Chains A and B, each alone.
Chain A
Amino acid sequence: MEEHDQIDASLQENLLSFRIDTLTILVYLCLGFGVLWFAMLLTQVTSNAGDYTRSGPPWVLFAVGTGMAFMGLRYNKIRLARSAFFFSIVGTPTISLFLLPGTTPFMSYSLVLAVIIAGILYSPRAPFTVVALVVVIFLMVGMASATNFTNHYGSITQFITTFTPPSVTLLLAALTSWLATRDLVATVEWAMESHRLAERRAERLRVSEARVARTLLELEGAYEMQSRLNSQLQVLNKELEVARTAADEANTLKTRFLANMSHELRTPLNAIINFTQFLGKPRYGDLTARQIELQERVLVNSEHLLGLINDILDLSKIEAGRMELHLELLDLQPIFNGVMATAVGLTKSKGLNLESDVEEEIPPVRGDKVRVRQILLNLLSNAAKFTDSGGITLRAFESDGMVQISVIDTGAGIPAHELPLVFEEFHQVEQAASAQRQQGTGLGLPISRHLVELQGGTMWAESQFGSGSSFSFTLPIAENLTPEVVIFDPQTKQTAL
């Protein structure tokens, strides 16, 4: 806002300086006009001796007014110069009308000049004010004449005939001046408005330019930051590459180590297990009952050792993403029959009930026959291990696009705080009978869960401590799957048909 005021002020000044130029010309013109007028006065004075003395005051007024205007212009007192000049060109004819009736037509018409100049020096409407002022002056002159104070103009009729034409002329002059200057002022105002608008636009442009510059600067900063981050990223990538290579190497070494270890352990175990079994064969001679007992203990322990090696291998394969699954369309009932037949051997000796609660016409699932059997045997042998009385139930039913298979026992159960841990590697639930602990590897459940998940199912455990547990898993129903063998792709960890 302040700026706009300043712009306005500067414009007013410009307008004023334009008026100064006009005023200067006018002042010089009036000086010339004054000389002319003086010459006229002289001719008037010659015709009427009384006028000679009376011609002094208007002349002096004119000289003083014009002179002050001249000085004002010189010393840059513009308003004073304007007022003085205007006062002289109005005042001189007025006083002349009072003092020198002989000059009346000329003086009254010379006021036209004042009217037009008012329009130029002040405002478009100023001429009308001047006309009103002049008419008042005329009336005063008339009244002065009527009261015989001067009695220059005789009767009223004579007064009217003398002053009406100049009054009308003055009015017309004012009208003309108004029409002329109005357009001029409107043009000037339009110019001012345009200028102001342009200024405002320029200002706005400056603001947006500044904003653009600031944005550019910020962009530059961001770009710099980005390139710095990029180079950091490159460094990190390189480090990551190194780390990955190292990890790959370590993984390869680990796999090779496990493969070698497996081979080296299997070869002696082959001899141990088979020789121990040979001991039980009649062709190698009879053993005493105590010896058979010991021979069986050796067999159980060496087979446990073999199971442990297999589990470790499975787990490392799963962890390395190299578990091979032969996914196919599985009919579950024969698998259930097979594992139940095996489980009977585990439950019979402990006097446990073994029940099968399988829904009729259970749909086929997608899975690896060997692995499903492995999972079921793991669950059943766990159940048999931790159940001393009651029974074990194998339950299977269709549920939500999956077949849910549960192994439910009436065994010791698992404390609530241990339930989430049963699927962790090498975790074994605390048992009262410590002798039972050595029977599990602690890897069966983690492996089972991994295998279930690789086959697209989920596995979980529920338990009531003291009254039994149930381990459940699901396998996806795959009725539309063509009975071709699908192989688990270790690279993408996805099944490929």
Chain B
Amino acid sequence: MIDPNFAHVLVVEDRDDTFFVVQDLLIAEIGVRSCVRCRDGRSLITMLDAPTSGLFDLILYDIKRPLRDAFAQLPMLRVHPKLIGTRIIALTANIMPDDVERTRNAGFDGFIGIPVKQDRFPNQIWRILHDEWVWEPR
């Protein structure tokens, strides 16, 4: 359990617009301690492996079709020494029931659908950081 104000958040997102929205909400509306961006899973590992990188409380991972990248990365992230206890949440526009189920089975800790709802997003993040389940594709 961690207060959002102290949370270090990592966003894996290749689209600038989407990252802009998420970052703005995280910083301006929620007030997280830090918000770092990676463009994809590979650069995420590279970044984590760099000695300068810090720890993260929350990763918002944009899963793209055909989903292979994120699902292949997740086991590696799970055992990464810098991500012990980190909540990894799917943040994706793939909101079909099958997608949600696959995400759940792959081992993600939660699911937030795109478009992000401004009126609900702060609460969703708060709940995730307080170890509640959030599986909200819409």
Binding site for B on A (CB under 8 A): 255, 258-260, 262-264, 266-271, 273-275, 277-278, 281, 283, 306, 310, 313, 317, 322, 324
Contact = CB atoms under 8 A, between A and B. Distances in A.
Interface of B: 15, 17-18, 20-21, 24-25, 28, 65, 92-99, 113-116, 118, 138
A431 B92 CA distance: 38
Nearest to B18: A270
Given A259-B65, A267-B18, 10 more contacts: A260-B65, A264-B93, A268-B17, A270-B116, A271-B18, A271-B21, A274-B21, A281-B28, A306-B115, A317-B97
B51 to A, nearest CB: 35
A105 to B, nearest CB: 134
Contacts of B21: 270-271, 274-275, 278
Given A259-B94, A259-B99, A271-B21, A266 B114 contact: yes
Q: Is the interface of A mostly helix, strand, loop or mixed?
A: helix
A262 B18 contact: no
A274 B94 contact: no
Given A263-B65, A263-B94, A270 B17 contact: yes
Nearest to A271: B17
Nearest to A260: B65
B93 A274 contact: no
A287 to B, nearest CB: 17
A260 B97 CA distance: 13
B115 A277 contact: no
A278 B21 CA distance: 9
B115 A266 contact: yes
Nearest to B97: A324
A114 B69 CA distance: 132
Contacts of A269: 115
Given A267-B15, A270-B17, A283-B28, A259 B96 contact: yes
B24 A278 contact: yes
5 contacts: A262-B94, A263-B92, A270-B114, A270-B115, A274-B21
B28 A266 contact: no
Nearest to A317: B97
A473 B9 CA distance: 45
B61 to A, nearest CB: 15
Nearest to B138: A310
Given A267-B18, A270-B17, A310-B138, A277 B118 contact: yes
A432 to B, nearest CB: 34
A49 B115 CA distance: 163
Nearest to A255: B96
A267 B118 contact: no
Contacts of B138: 310
A254 B94 CA distance: 15
